[in-house]
């Protein structure tokens, strides 16, 4: 089968190469999926091979068709059209065929094509787990959430684009951050009630909205520079979720202790990496997201496409993501 492997930690020409690899065989809970479209995420460039390590087949988001099933598989059959975000410990989606555990896969939305479907899984899982598993917001109690406010830092990014939509469905008032006119407009189209600029004085902008504090903060981007501001903006007994690491020492006490703030982490790969007892939750979340899309409650977030899936376009995708200014998702589809 065709595959693209990174041979060094770079997005320059030659850092990834087109190769031929043996076709994997499905066993146990694995599905063998023929990959038709992949979406790019910042994790792709964050886990490129370090100097001196083996070449790596990267890529996490994909949509494709099941062409083989392991002997323990019960949820899928050959021919099913699926989407998934994969497992960071296994070879990824930058290949014509991939093995993936059925418990982190779902049938893709029937109302979207394969390109738009591929854009969804990783960001949908991260957004869902952040809001509903980590912050503890009850998705099914929209009436009970009315009047509660959520600040999303990084609204127009891949994760923010899904989180804004899910939070609105859950009844929350959503304040999203965006720093450009095009990213602000994108956030408004996806349902944000208010937009503030993460490069400005965020606490002051929140006060100008008539809010003293916010009940929840989902930080989907840079943490260090906004740490103090988050301490100022979060409500007493509020909750904060983080999905990216921080580079400097952060004062965990200060406002966060005085306000008894719950601070939690979300890592989308935790369930697959540790094979947690509730691994199948990711299958359930992706199923719910596909239904919400098919019911017209969630809009696709694919915003840019490249074709075909090859080393040249994957490197181009890495460079675009590294620039940090993506709006929505970049998808690469088809094989030459
Ligand atoms: N823990 C996990 O499981 C997990 C899962 C997914 C992603 N992540 C991480 O989360 C981060 C975001 O991922 P993503 O896919 O949403 O990224 P992305 O799509 O590349 O995000 C791009 C957006 O970030 C905004 N942005 C740039 N600098 C910002 C800043 N300092 N503060 C707030 N927003 C800023 C930009 O908006 P403006 O142009 O409006 O400034 C841009 O639209 C990445 O570091 C990624 O690795 C973690």
Give 175 Cα–ligand 1 centroid separation in angstroms.
Answer: 16
Give 69 Cα–ligand 1 centroid separation in angstroms.
Answer: 35
Length of the chain: 336
Q: Are strands 214-219 and 194-196 parallel, antiparallel or unpaired?
A: unpaired
pLDDT tens track for 231-283: 999 999 999 999 998 888 888 888 999 999 999 999 999 999 999 999 999 99
Write down the pLDDT at residue 75: 98
Distance CA 115, CA 95 (A): 16
| pLDDT higher than 90, residue 12 | yes
Phi, psi of 195 (to 5 degrees): -120, 135
Q: Is the CB of 160 under 6 A from ligand 1?
A: yes
* 158 Cβ neighbours under 8 A, 6+ residues apart: 39, 41, 119, 122, 123, 301, 326, 328, 329
Give the ligand 1 atom nearest the CA of 183.
40
Write the residue with the smallest CA distance to atom 17 of ligand 1. Answer: 157
pLDDT tens track for 288-314: 999 999 999 999 999 999 999 999 999
Write down the pLDDT at residue 253: 85
Q: Which pLDDT band holds residue 27 (cuts at 50, 70, 90)?
A: very high
Give 64 Cα–ligand 1 centroid separation in angstroms.
Answer: 26
123 close to 329: Cβ distance less than 8 angstroms: yes
Give 27 Cα–ligand 1 centroid separation in angstroms.
Answer: 36
Residue whose token pair is 């296994």: 90
Give 72 Cα–ligand 1 centroid separation in angstroms.
Answer: 37
Domains of the chain: 2-120+272-333 (3.90.180.10), 126-265 (3.40.50.720)
**Mean per-residue pLDDT, 61-76:** 98
Q: Is the CB of 321 under 6 A from ligand 1?
A: yes
Distance CA 151, CA 213 (A): 10
| pLDDT higher than 90, residue 129 | yes
* 319 Cβ neighbours under 8 A, 6+ residues apart: 11
Closest CA to 279 of 136, 117, 151, 104: 104
| pLDDT higher than 90, residue 152 | yes
Q: Is the CB of 239 under 6 A from ligand 1?
A: no
Model confidence, pTM: 0.98
**Mean per-residue pLDDT, 72-85:** 98
| pLDDT higher than 90, residue 181 | yes
Q: Which pLDDT band holds residue 51 (cuts at 50, 70, 90)?
A: confident
């Amino acid at each position: 089968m065709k595959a693209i492997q990174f041979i060094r930690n770079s997005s320059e020409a030659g850092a990834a190469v087109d190769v031929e690899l043996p076709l994997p065989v499905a066993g146990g809970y694995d599905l063998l999926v023929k990959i038709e479209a992949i979406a790019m995420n910042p994790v792709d460039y964050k886990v490129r091979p370090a100097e001196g390590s083996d070449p790596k087949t990267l890529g996490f988001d994909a949509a494709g068709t099941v062409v083989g099933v392991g002997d323990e598989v019960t949820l899928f059959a050959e021919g099913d059209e699926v989407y998934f975000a994969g497992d960071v410990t296994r070879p990824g989606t930058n290949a014509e065929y991939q093995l993936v555990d059925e418990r982190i896969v779902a049938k893709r939305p029937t109302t979207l094509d394969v390109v738009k479907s591929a854009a969804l899984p990783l960001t949908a899982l991260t957004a869902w787990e952040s809001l509903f598993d980590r912050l503890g917001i009850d998705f099914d109690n929209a009436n009970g959430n009315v009047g509660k406010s959520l600040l999303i830092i990084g609204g127009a990014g891949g994760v923010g684009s899904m989180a804004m939509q899910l939070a609105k469905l859950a009844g929350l008032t959503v304040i999203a951050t965006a720093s450009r006119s095009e990213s602000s407009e994108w956030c408004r189209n996806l349902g944000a009630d208010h937009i503030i600029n993460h490069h400005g004085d965020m606490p002051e902008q929140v006060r100008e909205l008539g809010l003293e504090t916010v009940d929840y903060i989902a930080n989907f981007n840079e943490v260090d520079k906004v740490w103090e501001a988050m301490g100022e903006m979060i409500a007493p007994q509020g909750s904060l979720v983080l999905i990216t690491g921080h580079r400097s020492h952060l004062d965990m006490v200060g406002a966060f202790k005085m306000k008894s703030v719950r601070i939690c982490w979300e890592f989308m790969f935790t369930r697959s990496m540790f094979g947690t007892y509730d691994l199948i939750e990711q299958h359930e979340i992706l199923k719910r997201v596909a239904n919400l899309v098919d019911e017209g409650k969630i809009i696709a977030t694919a915003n840019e496409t490249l074709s075909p899936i090859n080393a040249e376009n994957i490197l181009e995708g890495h460079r675009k993501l590294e620039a940090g200014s993506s709006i929505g998702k970049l998808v690469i589809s088809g094989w030459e």
